Structure 1
Amino acid sequence: MKVRISAGASDEEASAIAAALAEHVGETVELYADDDDEPLAVHDATDDSSADPDRTPPSEPRPGPESESDSDAGLGPTDRERRLRAEIDDILEGGPEKYRDQLDESDKLFVRDRLALWFDGENSEFQFEDGKFAAFDDWHPDGAGEETDDRLPADGLITGGATFEGRDVHYMANDYTVKRGSMAKKGVEKFLRMQQRALKTGKPVFYLMDSSGGRIDQQTGFFANREGIGKYYYNHSMLSGRVPQVCVLYGPSIAGAAYTPVFADFTIMVEGMSAMAIASPRMVQMVTGEDIDLQELGGPEVHARESGSADLVAEDEEHARELVAQLITYLPDNADEKPPRRASIPPASSPAGIDAVVPQEPNRGYDMTEVIDRVVDDGSYFELRPDYGAEIITAYARIDGRPVGIVANQPAHRAGAIFPDAAEKAAEFIWKSDAFNIPLLYLCDTPGFMAGSQVEKEGILEQGKKMIYATSSATVPKQTVVVRKAYGAGIYAMGGPAYDPESVIGLPSGEIAIMGPEAAINAVYARKLAEIDDPEERERTEQELREAYREDIDIHRMASEVVIDEIVPPSALREELAARFAFYEDVEKSLPDKKHGTIL
């Protein structure tokens, strides 16, 4: 094909025209100027090369948006984006440098380094933040970012979403370098949004707390408002039982800030760093005259042993993360899901040793964890509130890979008698486990609820009632093992036959009775025995009465009367429990149609 154009075109222009025409018409093009006999340019349609060496051959894909082409040359971030990135970098620096230095003195991480510890691991796919520019105009109106005590990056509170150990979670974290992590209007709004989004997503919430409370000099607009700080605890209540709420304390949480830890399902304090109290030591001194420091007022020792408000105490920040990473392996994302399973692992100790661990004598102490170690998967035992109400063990573990919540009497402490603090601990643990669909295993070896004037003052009836109520209302699969003694109302609280367990299993050491032999003989036969003058005859008669009583309450009698479902060899207990939990995994239970009970 011959084409003529007007004279004056340069060689490059002629080549480009010829190439474009050849590509368009699909044949060779010869380009001439006016009446010239010699062509200015010739282009063969089958030849992908042209006078323009940078032209992309038609057979290859055109440059994508990430490729450099002539049209993108010289394009990139403008001053506008560079200014934004500089503002973000400034925000990420947190509060004044002098407060950052104070963190180092306390061996405490800067909040953004803490978030990196939590969410930048190999099992984390993403982390994003909401509200980074909160209160930006209040401290950074000109983009200058001057170093003053009035810096309010993110308004001192960071919220967002992340993956943690492969699980999606919502999170919040106080920045202690900004007004001591105090809460004000914009930060409160971010906190509330995060909670409200968790209600919609059904994902767990992590509260990484390090707050001195509400920002008193800025309380207008967030304290008593409908969408103010008080809404925190309303949202906590709505989230309760819907998604797991986990709180880690990294510093003082005073007044309003102290309620988030106690509203959370699980609270971890850090040794030498954490504290929580309804008022600061200064306020306590003003109100009561008591002179006390913060650790004595509300440190880990107080809340792990005395109040029971702390589930666990971590040695340091890394340990706190490790504890939470282990905890969530037993928890589903929300109440609609089942807890995650893992591969079965043999127990740490042989089940064959169970019978030797449990003494036949009802008054001899032993450590119940030695039984548990022979039943649960190795490495899966995770005890909560170990130093509070230690006569009852509350722990998560796995049997054949399946998570279970263990409520076990501990004969090594107070003979396994149930005191008010232990009953309260057990009731809350049962309630939480049931909320998140974790089956329950009761290991019963108790003389019953403790008696005496002191425990009456401490509310033994009130707390015992709550434990029995929680056991009664739990709709998850329940298995009860009568390990040794099951006396008095202890068998009620520990998931006895009347409390709708899927199974009640007895070990050969088991006994079920209103009270133990010694107490029963003293109550029933005291007068008869007192009338026997001969000491040897009286001792012989007492022994005969004791043996007759024990025969009547022996586990074989209970099995014969079908009070319990089965007596199993102790060495087969793990295998028996694994089979029963698997069989009853999808059991359906219902509660009476009502708004809710009135006990808890």
Structure 2
Amino acid sequence: MTTTTAPAPLTAGTGGTHSQVAELHAIRAQAMAGPSEQATAAQHAKGKLTARERIGLLLDEGSFQEVEQLRRHRATGFGLETRKPYTDGVITGWGTVEGRTVFVYAHDFRIFGGALGEAHATKIHKIMDMALAAGAPLVSLNDGAGARIQEGVSALAGYGGIFQRNTRASGVIPQISVILGPCAGGAAYSPALTDFVFMVRDTSQMFITGPDVVRAVTGEEITQNGLGGADVHAETSGVCHFAYDDEETCLAEVRYLLSMLPQNNREAPPAVRTADPASRRGEMLLDHVPADGSRPYDMTAVIGEIVDDGEYLEVHEHWARNIVCALARLDGQVVGIVANQPRTLAGVLDIHASEKAARFVQMCDAFNIPLVTLLDVPGFLPGVGQEHGGIIRHGAKLLYAYCSATVPRISLVLRKAYGGAYIVMDSQSIGADLTYAWPANEIAVMGAEGAAGVIFRRRIAEAADPEAMRQKLVKEYRAELMHPYYAAERGLVDDVIDPAATREVLIRSLAMLQRKHADLPSRKHGNPPQ
């Protein structure tokens, strides 16, 4: 921890108004400078920026208004009475991002290692309350050593107050956690309660118990990054939504995400003007998607062809890659896109994909972001591990999220949509407002090969040439029950569209649904599957 000395106390000032103002400026300068040049150099030596440098990158230049800059702790004992730096190790306030108000708090690792004490927690509580009252996003820049041990249970109670406010603000204002250093123990639960988590490779870590405790309890040897680094949480645990190589890029992407989100749940996401015509045809889409349903392709290429200027922000890009969740714009309006990824596991739904998509759907619904679902799904992933891991329960999370969503919902079947996975991926039967399909679509209980094998098992077995009979029956089944217009003829698909017209059809449909209103039953809250 950084050692600091007690600054000169505030005095009444005896030299008149000018001297009082001069004293104020001197004290503010001391608070702005931090504990020492050595502490700042040590922070930079770790490849980390200071808290104020981070805030400067996050917010519009000159827009930051600090709150409680002169707050100091009141604790005594363990040498704390001689170490009372201004800010108490956390900088709080508000500013703007692209002209819109954003509240922020940033741990200052140079002071008490960013550890949370009573005064430190009180400052965070206040800025969280202000953000909720003002109806504006809250960004936390986390770089702290956990609870301040010298203050005992008071520090732990401070975390409880943060968690309560995170929960109260959930679905009301966007909450973004940026991990820029250690975030251990109880401190890790606040980011887990927020909407998005950003991390920086090599310099940020999150874990409940550190490597030393793991070694003592289990005998396992592991580094901090190996236990809770950015790539671990971005690829394995799913705790982290975005991971970047440096703080500058990370904070620039936080700004970009904020540009896609509304200020609160009572507003629509910000619209922008685009030079990309709504009527632009996507002639390349037929080249991106092979007609053969067994051949893989990259769904992100399809998304890039449809959305404005080919730009989108993929959420959880490195976790559960068999499904894609992204924020993008169509004709300047923000949309959330959920799409199967045939390039990974053939685009099947499994435990992690279901959890990832369910969380994303709930976030979009909470913040009035319309949903576009692109289907090319062969079903749920079979296997003992999936069944014993609770695929029924986890798959139900996605089903629950879609069924509960009241924002405009449009689904599009690109190629195939089989079984329960088709129902779960926002089919018309669970409330999609509009359902479209491309001409090569196959919507069925299962693929023709499997279906014919079940229905005609005996005929195939008794045939003189079982393989020839199987192929004949597969062809008949596909022609009778899986032709592209079967679902449309029964009203389960609103229209079969030209793939090149996908962008225009989606934009026109979203414009029609812009004023959609959904009445919900009166209840305290639902009981979603966990």
Q: Would you say the 8 A contact 1:558–1:564 is kept in 2?
A: yes
Unpaired runs of 5+ residues, structure 1, are 1-74, 140-147
Instruction: Using the TM superposition, give the Cα deviation of residue 593 of structure 1 relative to its aligned residue in structure 2, in angstroms.
Output: 1.7
Find the aligned partners of 1:412 and 1:137 in 2 and give their Cα distance: 58
- For residues 21 and 302 of structure 2, the distance between their equivalents in structure 1, rounded to whole angstroms, comes to 63
**Among residues 7, 27, 38, which one is paired with 1:87 in the alignment?**
27
Cα pair 1:347 1:376 within 8 Å, conserved: no
Aligned twin of 2:68 = 131
Q: In structure 1, what residue type is equivalent to 2:127?
A: M
- Is 1:372 aligned with 2:303? yes
Question: Taking CA–CA contacts closer than 8 Å with sequence separation of 6 or more, which of the two structures ends up with the larger relative contact order?
Answer: 2
375, 397, 401: which one aligns with 2:328: 397
- Residue deviations 1:292-351 (CA, integer Å, cap 9, x gap): 211011101111011111110022111012111211122100000011111134389950
Decide which structure has the larger Cα Rg and report it: 1
- RMSD between aligned residues: 2.0
The match for 2:502 among 565, 573, 580 is 573
3-state SS in 2 of match to 1:330: coil
Partner of 2:405: 474
Change (3 A) 1:162 1:520: same
Give the one of 489, 497, 514 matched to 1:560: 489
Shift of the 360–153 alpha-carbon distance from structure 1 to 2, 3 Å rule, reads: same
Counterpart Cα distance in 1 of 2:228 and 2:277: 38
Between the aligned partners of 2:327 and 2:315, the Cα distance in structure 1 is 8
- Indicate yes or no: 2:235 matched with 1:300: no
Matched residues, number: 509
Match of 1:247 in 2: 177
Matched, 1:108 2:48: yes
Q: Take 1:360 and 1:445, find their aligned partners in 2: how far apart are those partners?
A: 12
Relative to structure 1, the CA distance from residue 574 to residue 189 in structure 2 (aligned partners, 3 Å threshold; closer, same or farther) is: same
Contact conserved, 1:163 with 1:169, CA < 8 A, in 2?
Answer: yes
Superposed, 1:533-552 pairs within 5 Å as 533-534=464-465, 538-551=466-479, 552=481
Distance 2:439 2:274 in 1: 27
The farther-off stretch of 370-379 and 245-254 is: 370-379
1:519 pairs with 450, 457, 468, which one?
A: 450
Match of 1:382 among 313, 336, 343: 313
Q: Distance in 2 between matches of 1:494 and 1:345?
A: 32
Match of 2:477, as an amino acid? Y
Q: TM-score, normalised by structure 2?
A: 0.92
Deviates more, 1:340-349 or 1:255-264: 340-349
The verdict on how the C-alpha distance between 1:114 and 1:547 changes in structure 2, with shifts beyond 3 A counting, is same
Does the aligned pair in 2 maintain the 1:381–1:397 contact within 8 Å? Answer: yes
In 2, Cα distance between the equivalents of 1:326 and 1:539? 56
Q: For 2:485, what is the secondary structure of its paired residue? A: helix
What is aligned with 1:40? none
Say yes or no: does 1:583 pair with 2:512: yes
Deviation at 1:444, TM superposition (A): 0.5
Q: 1:359-401, CA deviations, whole angstroms, 9 ceiling, x for partnerless residues?
A: 2222111111221122111143110001111111000111111
CA contact (8 A) 1:380 1:396 kept: no
* CA deviation profile, 1:392-414 (whole Å, cap 9, x unmatched): 10001111111110000000100
1:465 aligns with 2:361: no
Give the aligned residue type for 1:190: K
Deviation at 1:416, TM superposition (A): 0.5
Letter in 1 for 2:149: I
1:167 aligns with 2:167: no
Structure 2: which 5+ runs fail to align? Answer: 1-14
Which amino acid is the alignment partner of residue 39 of structure 2? Y
Contact 2:58 2:255 in 1 (8 A): no
C-alpha contact 2:374 2:413 (8 A) present in aligned 1: yes
Kindly report which structure 2 residues correspond to 1:235-274, keeping only aligned pairs within 5 A, or say none: 235-274=165-204
The answer to which of 338-347 and 484-493 deviates more is 338-347
Q: Does 1:496 align with 2:427?
A: yes
CA distance in 2, matches of 1:515, 1:212: 52
Distance 1:153 1:285, change over 3 A: farther
Is the 1:95–1:149 contact (alpha carbons within 8 Å) kept by the matching residues of 2?
A: no
Deviates more, 1:450-459 or 1:175-184: 450-459
Contact 1:347 1:378 (C-alpha < 8 Å) held by counterparts: no
SS at match of 2:259: helix
- Range that drifts further, 296-305 or 538-547: 538-547
Give the whole-Å Cα distance in 2 for the aligned partners of 1:545 and 1:592: 47
Q: Which segment is superposed worse, 284-293 or 461-470?
A: 284-293
CA distance in 2 between counterparts of 1:310 and 1:340 reads 25
Q: Is this contact kept in 2: 1:357–1:371, CA < 8 A?
A: yes
Q: Tell me whether 383-392 or 77-86 shows the greater mean CA deviation.
A: 77-86
**Is the alpha carbon distance of 1:525 and 1:347 closer, same or farther for their aligned partners in structure 2, counting shifts above 3 Å?**
farther
Please say if 1:342 is aligned against 2:279: no
Percent of pairs with identical residues = 36
1:130-173 deviations in Å (ceiling 9; x for gaps): 1111116779xxxxxxxx99353311011111112211011100
Amino acid aligned to 1:330:
M
SS in 2 for 1:233: helix
d(CA) in 1 for partners of 2:409, 2:251: 31
CA distance in 2: counterparts of 1:473 and 1:220, whole angstroms: 40
Give the secondary-structure state (helix, strand or coil) at the position aligned to 1:206.
strand
Distance 2:136 2:315 in 1: 22
Distance 1:573 1:92 in 2: 53
TM-score (norm 1): 0.82
Cα deviations by residue, 1:516-548 (Å, 9 ceiling, x for unpaired)? 1121122222333233343xxx33322221122
SS across alignment from 2:401 = helix
1:318 paired residue number = 248
State the alpha-carbon separation in 2 of the partners of residues 245 and 108 from structure 1. Answer: 23
User: 2:83 maps to what in 1?
Assistant: 150
Q: Distance in 2 between matches of 1:378 and 1:347?
A: 9
> Bigger shift: 458-467 or 280-289?
280-289
1:218 counterpart residue number:
151
SS in 1 for 2:422: helix
Q: Kindly indicate whether the alpha-carbon contact (under 8 Å) linking 2:364 and 2:370 is maintained by their aligned counterparts in 1.
A: yes
Paired position in structure 2 for 1:422? 353
By how many angstroms is 1:97 displaced? 3.9
Offset, 1:188: 0.3
State the alpha-carbon separation in 2 of the partners of residues 482 and 189 from structure 1.
51
Cα distance, 1:257 vs structure 2: 1.3
Report the equivalent of 1:193.
Answer: 126
- 1:485 paired residue among 413, 416, 422: 416
